C-alpha cells in the first residue's frame, strides 16, 4: 500500500518526485537538437559533392568542354536526364541551412546566422543558375507555414534577393574574437575564420552581380562599384591563401572524397576536350603539364627511348560518326597533378576568379578602382600561382604572347577565356559564365537535338520538380524539351558553336 500511495503522489506532481526527472530521461545518444557545428559540417560535405563534384563528373563537364566522350553519342543532349538526386540533395541541404539559421537566431549567435545565410545564398545561386525560375520565396516553409507546393519565382527577383541577402550577411558578421566564434574544425570552407567568410560573402556577391550585368546593367554597375570602391567595408578575396574551398589533409586516396579523384585512383581516367587542349598547348601555357597528361602512348614511347617528344591530343566534343572513336591511350587525360593529388582542394571561389570578375567589370566601364589591363594581368598571375606555376620568367613569357597580351579590342574574350582556364573543373560555375557571356569560344559539333535548338540553356528540371509541384505548369510553356528556353541572366546571348567536325590537333613537346 505504501508503494501505491508513493506512486500516486508522484503522478499528481509533488516536487520531490519530479525534480530532475526531465534530465534523467534525456538519451545522450539521441539528442533532440543538433549542434550548429554538426549541421554546418554535414551541409558543407553534402553540397560539395552535389555542386562541385558528382554533378560535374557527368554531363556538365562535357557541356563546358573540360572533358569529352571517347565515342559517338547518338543523342548529344539527354533531354530527360534525371536530376532528382541533384534537386533532392540541394533541397535537403537548404532545409538544414535554414534550420541552422533559425537556431542561430534563437541562440543569438550572429556568426552562425551569417554563415547560414551565405551558404543558403550560394546554394540557391547554383539552383537558379542551373534551372532558371525556381521555388524561392515560399521555399523551405513546409513545416512552419504548411506550404507544400511553393510557387516558382522569376530568376530576376531571386537574383535581386540573393545579392541583398549577401550584403545583409556581411553586416551581421562579428569579427571580434570570442564574441560569436564558430568551430573551425567543423567548417571545411573557411575554418572558422570570420574575416574569410566576410570576404567570401562579398566575392560571391560580385560573382552574382556580374552575372546580372547583361540583363540589369545598372544594378550590376552600382553593386560592383560599391564592393570594389570600398575594400575596408566590403573586403573580397585578396590572395590565394583566401581561396574558399574544401581542403583535404593527408597523402592517401581515402582522404580526398571527391568522386573524380576516387575514380581516377581506381583507373577510370577521363579524356580532356580539344577545346581545353588547344587553349593550353597552342599557346604553350605553363599550366599544360599540370592540367593535362601527355598521351599514354607517347609517355610509354619516350620512356622506352623510342620517341623524343611527348604528344598531347584532345577529344572533339562530339565525334564524326558511329564508326569514329578514340582510344584512351591515344588522347590526353586530366593531369596526375590534379587527379592523383589527394590533398588538392576543391575550389568554391578563388582569388583568380575575383580578379577576372573585377577586370571584366572594368572593361564594361564600371569604376572599380583599377585599370582593366593591370587587373587582368594580376588575374593570370594569381591563376598561375594557384595551379602551381611559380617561375616568374615563365609567367612573364606567357603574358607576352599575342594570345595573352592584353588587347582592349577583345578584352572581354581574353578575360573570360583566362577565367575559363582558371575554373577548370568548376563546371557549373563555368556553364553559367558561358551562357551569360557567350565566351569562351566552344567547338561544339551540332548533331542530334542541338541542330534545332543549339547550346543548352539549363540543366533539365528534375522529375520531382515537374511532377510533384502543380506550380510547375506556370513555367512549363517557357521550356523547349526541358533543356532550352530563355534564361534571365543570359538575355540575348548566343553561344556560338561550330557546325562541322574538326580533326584534333596533335601537339608535340620535346622531352627534357
Per-residue pLDDT tens listing for the chain (512 residues): 433 333 333 323 334 444 544 444 455 555 557 899 999 999 999 998 889 876 666 678 888 999 988 876 654 455 677 788 889 999 999 999 999 999 999 999 999 999 999 999 999 999 999 999 999 999 999 888 999 899 999 999 999 999 999 999 999 999 999 999 999 999 999 999 999 999 999 999 999 999 999 999 999 999 999 999 999 999 999 999 999 998 776 655 556 667 667 677 677 788 999 999 999 999 999 999 999 999 999 999 999 999 999 999 999 887 666 667 899 999 999 999 888 887 888 899 999 999 999 999 999 999 998 899 999 999 999 999 999 999 999 999 999 999 999 999 999 999 999 999 999 999 999 999 999 999 988 876 655 556 677 788 988 898 888 887 899 999 999 898 888 888 999 987 878 776 667 889 999 999 75
Q: Decide if 260 contacts 344 (C-beta within 8 A).
A: no
Rounded Cα–Cα distance for residues 355 and 423 (Å): 13
Residue 320: how many other CB atoms lie within 10 Å = 15
- Beta-carbon contacts of 114 under 8 Å, excluding residues fewer than 6 positions away, are 169, 170, 172, 173, 194, 197, 201
Residue 495: how many other CB atoms lie within 10 Å = 18
C-alpha triplet 191, 238, 176: angle, nearest 5°: 50
Rounded Cα–Cα distance for residues 25 and 6 (Å): 20
Place of cell 513555367: 475
Residue 367: how many other CB atoms lie within 10 Å = 12
pLDDT at res. 456: 86
pLDDT at res. 474: 92
The values of phi and psi at residue 315, to 5°, are -110, 130
Residue 371: how many other CB atoms lie within 10 Å = 12
Rounded Cα–Cα distance for residues 272 and 317 (Å): 9
Residue 100: how many other CB atoms lie within 10 Å = 27
pLDDT at res. 402: 96
Name the β-bridge partners of 244: 349
Closest CA to 435 of 242, 177, 214: 214
Per-domain residue ranges of the chain: 36-245+343-490
Closest CA to 261 of 90, 57, 65, 44: 57
- Beta-carbon contacts of 90 under 8 Å, excluding residues fewer than 6 positions away, are 47, 50, 51, 123, 126, 127
pLDDT at res. 196: 98
Task: Write down the CATH number for the domain with range 36-245+343-490.
Answer: 1.25.40.390
Measured in whole angstroms, the distance separating CA 296 from the mean position of its chain's CA atoms is 30
pLDDT at res. 352: 98
pLDDT at res. 311: 98
Amino acid at each position: 500500500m505504501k508503494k501505491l500511495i508513493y506512486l500516486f503522489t508522484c503522478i499528481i506532481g509533488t516536487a520531490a518526485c519530479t525534480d530532475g526527472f526531465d534530465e534523467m530521461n534525456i538519451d545522450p545518444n539521441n539528442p533532440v537538437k543538433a549542434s550548429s557545428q554538426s549541421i554546418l559540417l554535414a551541409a558543407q560535405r553534402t553540397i560539395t559533392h552535389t555542386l562541385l563534384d558528382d554533378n560535374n563528373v557527368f554531363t556538365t563537364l562535357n557541356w563546358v568542354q573540360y572533358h569529352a566522350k571517347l565515342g559517338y553519342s547518338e543523342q548529344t543532349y539527354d533531354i530527360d536526364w534525371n536530376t532528382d538526386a541533384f534537386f533532392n540533395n540541394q533541397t535537403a541541404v537548404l532545409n538544414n541551412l535554414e534550420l541552422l539559421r533559425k537556431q542561430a537566431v534563437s541562440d543569438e549567435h550572429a556568426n552562425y546566422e551569417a554563415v547560414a545565410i551565405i551558404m543558403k545564398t550560394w546554394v540557391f545561386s547554383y539552383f537558379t543558375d542551373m534551372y532558371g525560375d525556381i521555388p524561392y520565396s515560399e521555399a523551405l516553409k513546409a513545416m512552419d507555414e504548411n506550404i507544400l507546393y511553393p510557387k516558382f519565382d522569376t530568376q530576376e527577383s531571386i537574383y535581386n534577393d540573393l545579392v541583398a541577402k549577401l550584403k545583409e550577411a556581411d553586416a551581421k558578421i562579428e569579427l571580434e574574437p570570442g564574441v560569436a566564434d564558430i568551430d573551425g574544425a567543423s567548417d571545411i570552407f573557411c575554418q572558422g575564420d570570420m574575416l574569410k567568410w566576410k570576404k567570401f560573402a562579398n566575392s560571391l556577391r560580385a560573382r552574382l552581380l556580374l552575372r546580372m550585368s547583361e540583363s540589369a546593367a545598372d544594378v550590376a554597375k552600382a553593386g560592383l562599384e560599391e564592393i570594389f570602391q570600398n575594400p575596408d567595408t566590403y573586403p573580397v578575396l585578396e590572395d590565394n591563401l583566401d581561396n574558399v574551398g574544401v581542403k583535404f589533409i593527408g597523402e592517401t586516396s581515402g582522404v580526398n572524397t571527391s568522386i573524380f579523384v576516387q575514380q581516377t585512383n581506381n583507373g577510370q581516367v577521363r579524356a580532356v576536350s580539344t577545346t581545353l587542349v588547344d587553349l593550353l598547348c597552342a599557346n604553350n601555357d605553363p599550366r599544360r603539364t599540370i592540367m593535362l597528361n601527355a598521351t599514354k602512348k607517347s609517355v610509354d614511347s619516350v620512356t622506352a627511348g623510342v620517341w623524343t617528344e611527348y604528344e598531347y591530343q584532345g577529344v572533339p566534343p562530339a565525334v564524326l560518326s558511329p564508326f569514329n572513336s578514340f582510344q584512351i591511350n591515344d588522347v590526353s587525360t586530366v593531369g596526375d597533378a590534379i587527379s592523383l593529388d589527394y590533398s588538392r582542394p576543391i575550389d568554391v571561389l578563388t582569388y583568380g576568379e575575383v580578379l577576372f570578375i573585377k577586370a571584366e567589370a572594368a572593361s564594361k566601364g564600371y569604376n572599380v578602382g583599377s585599370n582593366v589591363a593591370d587587373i587582368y594581368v594580376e588575374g593570370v598571375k594569381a591563376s598561375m600561382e594557384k595551379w602551381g606555376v611559380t617561375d616568374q620568367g615563365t609567367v612573364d613569357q606567357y603574358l607576352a604572347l599575342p594570345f595573352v597580351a592584353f588587347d582592349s579590342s577583345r578584352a572581354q574574350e581574353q578575360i573570360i577565356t583566362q577565367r575559363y582556364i582558371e575554373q577548370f573543373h568548376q563546371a557549373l560555375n563555368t556553364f553559367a559564365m558561358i551562357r551569360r557571356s557567350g565566351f569562351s569560344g566552344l567547338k561544339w559539333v551540332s548533331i542530334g537535338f542541338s541542330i534545332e535548338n543549339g547550346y543548352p540553356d539549363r540543366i533539365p528540371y528534375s522529375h520531382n520538380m515537374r511532377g510533384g509541384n502543380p506550380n510547375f505548369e506556370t513555367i512549363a510553356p517557357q521550356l523547349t524539351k526541358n533543356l532550352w528556353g530563355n534564361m534571365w541572366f543570359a538575355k540575348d546571348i548566343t553561344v556560338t558553336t561550330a557546325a562541322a567536325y574538326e580533326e584534333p590537333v596533335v601537339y608535340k613537346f620535346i622531352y627534357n
